[in-house]
Amino acid sequence: MGNSGSFGANPMEQHIGLGSNARIERIDVRWPASGTGQTFTNVAPNQFIEIKESDKDYVKLDRKRVRLGGERRGR
């Protein structure tokens, strides 16, 4: 299965909360196996991105919002 998040393994995806008034100044990524690093600036909050080692830019992912529990009704 590898380390892909199935059956209790750690997910490869990270969710980082910033709070309501936060902004991203920069993202620094350090790759331990190769010892290389990447820096990204001007990254908008409230999005999913994919960062691959050695790629010049990140890729914005299209994720659909999922609401659990069905439709909400008035009280």
Rounded to two decimals, what is the model's pTM? 0.65
Domain segments of the chain as ranges: 17-63
Distance CA 33, CA 14 (A): 19
- Kindly give, in sequence order, each residue whose CB lies less than 8 Å from that of residue 41, ignoring residues fewer than 6 positions away: 25, 26, 27
pLDDT of residue 1: 43
Please list the rounded mean pLDDT of every run of 10 residues in the chain (75 residues): 56 79 89 95 90 94 82 63
pLDDT of residue 14: 82
